[in-house]
Structure 1
Amino acid sequence: MGAPGKHKFEFPVGYEKFHNKQLFNFQLNRPYAFGYARLQDMREAGRKISSFSDWKREMLGQAEKAVSEGRLLNAAFYFRAAEFYTKSDDPDKSVLYDKFIDLFYTVFEEDEIEEHIVPYEGAYLVALRIPAAVSSKGTVVIHGGFDSFIEEFYSMMTCFSSQGYDVIGFEGPGQGASLRKFGLPLTLEWEKPVKTILDYFQLEEVTLIGISMGGWLCLRASAFEPRIKRVIATGHAIDYMKSMPSVFRKIHLWCMNHYPVFMNRMAALKFERRDGMAAWMVDQLKYITRKSKPLDALDVYVQMNEGNIHSELVRQYVLILTGRNDHFIPFKMHDLQLRALVNAKSVTGRVFAEEEHAQNHCQIGNIGLALETMIAWMDTH
């Protein structure tokens, strides 16, 4: 094994205009912002994409070109990008996932990455551990949310390691290999997989970081797991149904409760036979929850609410990171979450503005600044 952090990542500053539609532009910026993609490749792909089928074709083309040129890091994440908008019933989805994983571990085979398969409820969770590059200040545990693989956060993990933290990244139920290889559907009781990870690695005091929807999950886990001492959440909603206007939310919930058969039929007509963000999100929800009906999958959003997150039980130091112009999560969620943490030891809110290039979802556009903010806060607390 090599030394931790053998690969040094640079996080480019700036949210690029790769595509006119945010649906595609954000996902082109995503691997670029984490230091995995080339600017010219994303620009070239963006010019040729107008549909999900275009997306798959162009990202596959970029991946195969990168392989032919020996740029295996780029290739790995272009296969991942191709997988991202591939529908759950497409057999290529698992093929593309395997190509990504194989290339990722080929690229980083000399880095000091410990791979762990952790027993969990008759199946397994997947975890990666990177030791601190210098004497350890403590342990950071990190996970994603709705649509990420833990390997995507490797550049962030190496940054924490270089600053003196042992780092463990894991995939819980509904994520990555825990879903694809071991069949674990999403659970909102996130304290259960977190407890399993803390028990397995024999950890007592950790910082837990949740990315995107993982922010909701990590706060939920922190409400029930005292071994978590510090919590960082970025890009989440305290209550996902409150993302929509109040009147529409009430109508939607009433119809779900009183006319489920009709609502399932309408959801199928609206989402399952079309392209677009809403159609992709419902397909992804069905995939990670292992539900066959749209309404059953959408119920996860209903359950990810202000009551079930249990903010009032969180007693740790908390840092909430929010992009001022997050296109997924309304900005009003930031203050709602801060106000709900009534029993936390301390609550720090950090809003990233456009002039910082970090105003987007999960600070895509300036990951380096987000990392600096997290590390400074952890060092202080």
Structure 2
Amino acid sequence: MSRFTFPVGYHRLNKTKIIDFQLNRWYSFGYVRLEDMKEAGNNIKGLDDWKDEMVRQAKKAEKENRMMNAAFSYRAAEFFVLPTDPEKINLYDKFIELFYGKVISEENIRRILIPYEDSFLPAVHSSSKTNNLKGTIVIHGGFDSFMEEFYSMGEYFSEFGYEIILFEGPGQGGALKKYNLPLTYEWEKPVKAVLDYFNLNNVTLLGISMGGWLCLRAAAFESRIKRVIASSIAFDYMQIPPKPVADFARFIMKFPSLMNYLAELKTRFRAQEKWGVYNLMYITKKDTPLEASKAMLELNEENLHSELVKQDVLILTGAEDHFIPLKMHYKQVQALKNANSVTDIVFTKETQGHNHYQVGNFGLALETIKTWLDEYNS
């Protein structure tokens, strides 16, 4: 079976929620040691400390020949680095070098560049590890993900007879960093390129985090997707905050100079706000906070077209997701009125699957998906 184990338990590793979640994420996926994340959490006082501490953890692991730990510590280090820092691309390159050169160098996995518009989408292909092929799962992430993050997920499903394709769409990983493709809400376009390249006609599409929105959008316009799995959903990003907050945001966006000034003001005094604003501009390739926000808000109810989704759908949600409130789960389920079937599961704190895409019990999410797939592939 797979060399990965998926530990159960969400740990208090840092007082800052976004840092705490990131430290838990790499541990929950099976890539780093808890003792190292605890040490890092104690040493990190804020985002300004993040890069140096995670690089220290990476170098320590590298020296001890723990290459999986090292690679993903470099990936973690890159996460909060501002796009204006040249170390961002250097850390990405170091992660990629270790991941493919050391971590999976002996695995039977193909790296592929899929033609897309005037550029390329990076992808990896892994064959089933059994002779009983059950089907093909195409996996992608969300806002700022790398496809390599979901390697342990792919390994899990390939052990049970599934062919796995991981890919990065516009705005993600190498598609952004190496091939200059900004985020698009029209996710059916990169999915079409992937399905065309591999000549696939009957697939399961699995989207994680913001990928939960993107995969449902793709399913609305791509009939070759027969089953769709959203691991966390958003439905409409403007409906996430309370209505008064959303209404105020709409009002401010009518005044571009004021909107950009207020965004810039926040970045001067709060490291987390600075990272959030600059990262959004980086991924959308927009020059101002306003234009970046407009691109992000294209991920809305109208553009999602839930009414066009006719596949079998599985939705997994954490009851205490700190990014997406639980109300969005029920909005999404209700909107899928023409789906062939909808299975929706809310994980609570009792199972430790209550966080964003089940960080804290990622193994439970994988087992739940496998059980659902076995039913719909039987």
Q: Does the alignment reach a TM-score above 0.5?
A: yes
Which residue pairs with 2:324 in the alignment? 329
Equivalent residue runs for 1:177-326 within 5 Å: 177-256=174-253, 258-271=254-267, 274-276=270-272, 278-326=273-321
Number of residue pairs matched? 374
Kindly provide the CA deviation profile for residues 54-84 of structure 1, in whole angstroms up to 9, marking residues without a partner as x.
Answer: 1111101100111111111100000011100
Unaligned runs of 5+ in 1: none
Which residue pairs with 2:354 in the alignment? 359
* Structure 2 contact 307–337 (Cα < 8 Å) conserved: yes
Give the aligned residue type for 1:124: F
* Structure 1 contact 223–314 (Cα < 8 Å) conserved: yes
2:37 paired with 1:42: yes
Kindly provide the CA deviation profile for residues 333-371 of structure 1, in whole angstroms up to 9, marking residues without a partner as x.
Answer: 010000000000001100001010110000000111000
Unaligned runs of 5+ in 2: none
Which residue pairs with 2:83 in the alignment? 88
Which residue pairs with 2:122 in the alignment? 126
Post-superposition shift, 1:255?
A: 2.2
* Structure 2 contact 233–315 (Cα < 8 Å) conserved: no
Kindly provide the CA deviation profile for residues 259-299 of structure 1, in whole angstroms up to 9, marking residues without a partner as x.
Answer: 112111111111355312x3322221111111110111111
* Structure 2 contact 310–339 (Cα < 8 Å) conserved: yes
* Structure 1 contact 25–46 (Cα < 8 Å) conserved: yes
Post-superposition shift, 1:372?
A: 0.5
2:67 paired with 1:72: yes
Kindly provide the CA deviation profile for residues 199-236 of structure 1, in whole angstroms up to 9, marking residues without a partner as x.
Answer: 00000000000000011000000000000000000122
Mean Cα displacement is larger for which, 195-204 or 228-237? 228-237
Which residue pairs with 1:342 in the alignment? 337
SS of alignment partner, residue 207 of structure 2: strand
Post-superposition shift, 1:301?
A: 2.9
Give the aligned residue type for 1:274: R
* Structure 1 contact 212–236 (Cα < 8 Å) conserved: yes
Q: 1:139 aligns with which of 133, 136, 142?
A: 136
Q: 1:11 aligns with which of 6, 23, 27?
A: 6
* Structure 2 contact 48–271 (Cα < 8 Å) conserved: no
* Structure 2 contact 235–331 (Cα < 8 Å) conserved: yes
Q: Distance in 2 between matches of 1:272 and 1:180?
A: 26
Give the aligned residue type for 2:170: P
Q: Distance in 2 between matches of 1:279 and 1:205?
A: 43
Q: Write out the 4+ residue segments of structure 1 that deviate beyond 3 Å after TM superposition.
A: none
Post-superposition shift, 1:17?
A: 1.2
* Structure 1 contact 241–301 (Cα < 8 Å) conserved: no
The 3 A distance-change label for structure 1 pair 272 and 143 is: farther
* Structure 1 contact 66–75 (Cα < 8 Å) conserved: yes
Mean Cα displacement is larger for which, 223-232 or 127-136? 127-136
What TM-score results when the alignment is normalised by the length of structure 1?
0.96
* Structure 2 contact 284–292 (Cα < 8 Å) conserved: yes
2:171 paired with 1:157: no
What TM-score results when the alignment is normalised by the length of structure 2?
0.97
Q: Distance in 2 between matches of 1:81 and 1:302?
A: 27
Give the aligned residue type for 2:167: F
Which residue pairs with 2:25 in the alignment? 30
Give the aligned residue type for 1:18: L
